[in-house]
Amino acid sequence: GAVVSQHPSWVICKSGTSVKIECRSLDFQATTMFWYRQFPKQSLMLMATSNEGSKATYEQGVEKDKFLINHASLTLSTLTVTSAHPEDSSFYICSASSTGELFFGEGSRLTVL
Amino acid sequence: AQSVTQLDSHVSVSEGTPVLLRCNYSSSYSPSLFWYVQHPNKGLQLLLKYTSAATLVKGINGFEAEFKKSETSFHLTKPSAHMSDAAEYFCVVSERLGTDKLIFGTGTRLQVFP
């Protein structure tokens, strides 16, 4: 199947800094990618839909100025957590669609100290 | 609005015994339903999906699920559990027809004892 790659797989940062997470579709083009957040031992919550060449669509309750999404090419979407705080610590997962099936990245674990 | 309810947060079975993970859905239309598996600190892998074709859906690793409209259920089963099946399982429904936006259940953690 298609491959979606996330980088970094884990990152530790200090409070107040910004962190960028990349989501790449390795062998297909994705006009739409999705970003999810997963708290420990909880389900995935959709944060936003990333659209190539246009603004992302954020779900209710997600701060768009806090979680900046850029989808500049058909194979790359980035999520930047700005001015990160400990409550932003979470597992972030992206997904992209290929031939009618959604493929998920392996996730990026963010720990904010 | 569409939703899924996973009835058990934890399920424990012995290796070689059957697995049943329960899921009920709520949808205003004929839904697309999925089961995903997540191993620790890993991304999600699609086990199987139902998209209004056959009601009994066979997936990977010996898993299958049956869509029962009368019971609004989509339970996941496997005849014989393997140690490697220990993971988190998510029942998922698509938010709207023809969309890739997914709504996840709260997950069921499957433990397999030797």
pLDDT confidence bin for B54, thresholds 50/70/90: confident
pLDDT, tens digit (0-9, with 9 covering 90-100), for A31-51:
889 999 988 777 889 999 998
3-state secondary structure of B17: coil
- What percent of chain B is predicted at pLDDT more than 90? 71
3-state secondary structure of A14: coil
The pLDDT of residue A113 is above 80:
yes
- Closest-CA distance, A15 to chain B, in angstroms, reads 23
Contact A22, A80 (CB under 8 A): no
The pLDDT of residue B25 is above 80:
yes
Residues of B within 8 A of A93 (CB-CB) are: 43-44
pLDDT value at residue A43 = 84
Chain-chain contact of A105 with B105 (C-beta, under 8 angstroms): no
Chain-chain contact of B90 with A43 (C-beta, under 8 angstroms): yes
Nearest Cα neighbor of B108 from A89, A91, A42, A3 is A42
Closest CB to B43 among A34, A43, A107: A107
Phi/psi of residue B50, each to 5°? -115, 125
pLDDT confidence bin for A13, thresholds 50/70/90: very high
- Distance between CA atoms of A84 and A17, rounded to whole angstroms? 6
Give the amino acid at A110: L
Q: What is the mean pLDDT of residues A75-80?
A: 95
Closest CB to B100 among A4, A34, A106: A34
Chain-chain contact of A104 with B44 (C-beta, under 8 angstroms): yes
Q: Which residues of A touch B (CB under 8 A)?
A: 4, 6, 32, 34, 42-46, 49, 91, 93, 95, 97, 101-102, 104-107, 109
- Distance between CA atoms of B73 and A103, rounded to whole angstroms? 24
- Closest-CA distance, B8 to chain A, in angstroms, reads 13
- Distance between CA atoms of A11 and B111, rounded to whole angstroms? 29
Nearest Cα neighbor of B95 from B53, B32, B5 is B32
Lookup result for tokens 């009835």: B7
Contact B64, B80 (CB under 8 A): no
- Distance between CA atoms of A81 and B22, rounded to whole angstroms? 35
Contact B57, B67 (CB under 8 A): yes
The pLDDT of residue B95 is above 90:
no
Average model confidence (pLDDT) across chain A:
91
The pLDDT of residue B108 is above 90:
yes
Contact B106, A42 (CB under 8 A): yes
Chain-chain contact of B41 with A109 (C-beta, under 8 angstroms): yes
Give me Rg for the CA atoms of chain B: 13
Q: What is the mean pLDDT of residues A69-98?
A: 93
Give the amino acid at A111: T
Chain-chain contact of A43 with B101 (C-beta, under 8 angstroms): no
